[in-house]
Structure 1
Amino acid sequence: MPEENSQKSPKKIKLITNLLTKALKLWLRAQVSQVSQLEVEIRASDRQILSGCIPWVSIFASHAVYQGLHLTRIQLVAENIQINIGLVLKGQPLRLLETVAVFGDLIVEEKDLNNSLSSELLSTALNDVLVKLLPEHSPKSKPISWQKITLDNNQIIMRAMLTPPSEATHLDIYLGLKLLSGQELQLSQIQVKQNEVPLLEGNHSYNFYLGSDVDIEELNSIPGQLLCRGRINVNP
């Protein structure tokens, strides 16, 4: 009998791991509307998996679209994940039981960033930046259409069009990026031009608090790409 159990054990481990990997892939695919490549690697023993704990997971995705945001490449690593393994083994969706700290590297190419301009998440963030810089240009009073984003060395150039009843107005906004801490981002060397006429220039800077669930280690803009590395908490 012991020999029979020892022979079946490896098959059991493989079956559980494969089932969990497929469940995790299904859950991830449900979070995005599109993904070109998705790879998942799980490192765990059978005892850990059956107890609902996954010590280490790696996820790689390319050309994924999450709530309208186009992500060129993303690599994530998470540890000590607690899941509802009992229900997963019965065919139900995977669900987190506790907050998970996820460490990741993200690359967004300029073309994907521009494809994201129609997303509510990005447009809302850009509107918040504009109102911070120019309170009189609130979207509530002047409809805003974001036209283009250009990435340069530690600088982002954004073009927007305001459409009041009289005539359309073009805004070109130049921003420098600087991390003050893992939770605080500074926009510096700000310039704003309205129909090519300087509207705001000088050494203006504004700080934005990113929240306690975020810890950014690196955030750089280079020609054609935006690079980000850090941690984010994923809550159940």
Structure 2
Amino acid sequence: MPLITKQQSRIISSVLSPACRVWLRSQVSAIGDLSVKISGGDRQILSGYIPKVAISASRAIYQGLHLSQIHLVGENIRINLGQVLKGKPLRLLEPIPVSGELLLEEADLKASLDAPLLATALTDLLGTLLLAAFHMHPADILEDQQINWQQITIEPECLTLSGTLTDATNYTKPFVLRTDLQLASPHELLLVNPCIEIQQKLVQAEEGFKIDLGKEVDIQELTLSQGRLICRGGITVIP
């Protein structure tokens, strides 16, 4: 490991680490505890090249997704160090491959249901299942309906979401939506065997539903366990 000189220590502790923290906080809506560990030799750092950054955080919200814990490692990072030393904000000069692990608890998933990716996919799925149950067009079923997600349970091979549909007359229909969650591809989630129970009807979709997370995402492992969802893989951060 390269020796850490006093000059490098000063740059990392007084300039680079605070700049990284400010940049990271600018990428999320909220964040709790945040730990940043920067690794590299003095010549590398002074040239604007950071070989490795390890990040640990808790209670973060990224694009509407609530995350209990984050452990990430970014490598081969190039930044505008010259401008950072002059007090300018840190900027990435090239895309960064980041790998690590994310943990979502049941409360995180419930709080994330307003995130556009999840909200759109679940509303489409709900509409399709209601279509099969009541033989109506999804737009007609969900028009003027307020969806209220009340409870979420994460179990091995099963995700259960319960809630209500309330129409313009305040008539409320409870429902329970169950599905398994798997990987369709490294950047796509697959809702497997989704079904809905509503007004004493139980209807299962004929096929699964995909949620596209974007080409920059590279999920290698997705695990449902009691009360939590663990995701391991990578993502490419675009400047």
Q: TM-score range by the shorter chain?
A: 0.7 to 0.9
Q: Secondary structure at the match of 1:15?
A: helix
Query: Could you list the runs of 4 or more consecutive aligned residues of structure 1 that deviate by over 6 angstroms after TM superposition?
Result: none
Q: Report if the CA contact (8 A) 2:8-2:45 is conserved.
A: no
Structure 1 portions without partners, runs of 5+: 1-8
Give percent identity, aligned residues only.
Answer: 43
- What residue is the counterpart of 1:192 in the other structure? 196
| Count of paired positions | 227
Q: CA deviation at 1:162?
A: 1.9
Letter in 2 for 1:15: R
Q: CA RMSD in A?
A: 2.3
For 1:65-120, what per-residue CA distance to the aligned partner results, in whole angstroms no more than 9, with x for missing partners? Answer: 33443211010011111111111111111111111111120011112222333455
Measured in 2, the distance between the counterparts of 1:33 and 1:209 equals: 22
Q: Report if the CA contact (8 A) 2:151-2:162 is conserved.
A: yes
Q: CA deviation at 1:157?
A: 0.9
Q: Report if the CA contact (8 A) 2:31-2:58 is conserved.
A: yes
Distance 1:87 1:134, change over 3 A: farther
Alignment of 1:111-122 (within 5 A): 111-120=107-116, 122=118
Pick from 160, 173, 178 the counterpart of residue 169 of structure 1: 173
Which stretch of structure 1 is more off in the superposition, 21-30 or 188-197?
A: 188-197
- What residue is the counterpart of 2:73 in the other structure? 77
Q: Secondary structure at the match of 2:113?
A: coil
- What residue is the counterpart of 1:228 in the other structure? 231
- What residue is the counterpart of 1:127 in the other structure? 123
- What residue is the counterpart of 2:154 in the other structure? 151
Measured in 2, the distance between the counterparts of 1:103 and 1:133 equals: 36
Q: Secondary structure at the match of 2:43?
A: helix
Measured in 1, the distance between the counterparts of 2:237 and 2:205 equals: 39
Distance 1:39 1:226, change over 3 A: same
Distance 1:204 1:101, change over 3 A: same
Letter in 1 for 2:189: L
Letter in 1 for 2:52: W
For 1:105-155, what per-residue CA distance to the aligned partner results, in whole angstroms no more than 9, with x for missing partners? Answer: 001111222233345554344324434555634455533222222111121
Letter in 1 for 2:12: T
Pick from 17, 28, 33 the counterpart of residue 12 of structure 2: 17
Measured in 2, the distance between the counterparts of 1:121 and 1:13 equals: 42
Measured in 2, the distance between the counterparts of 1:39 and 1:154 equals: 33
Q: Report if the CA contact (8 A) 1:178-1:186 is conserved.
A: yes
Structure 2 portions without partners, runs of 5+: 132-136
Q: Secondary structure at the match of 1:126?
A: helix
Distance 1:133 1:20, change over 3 A: farther
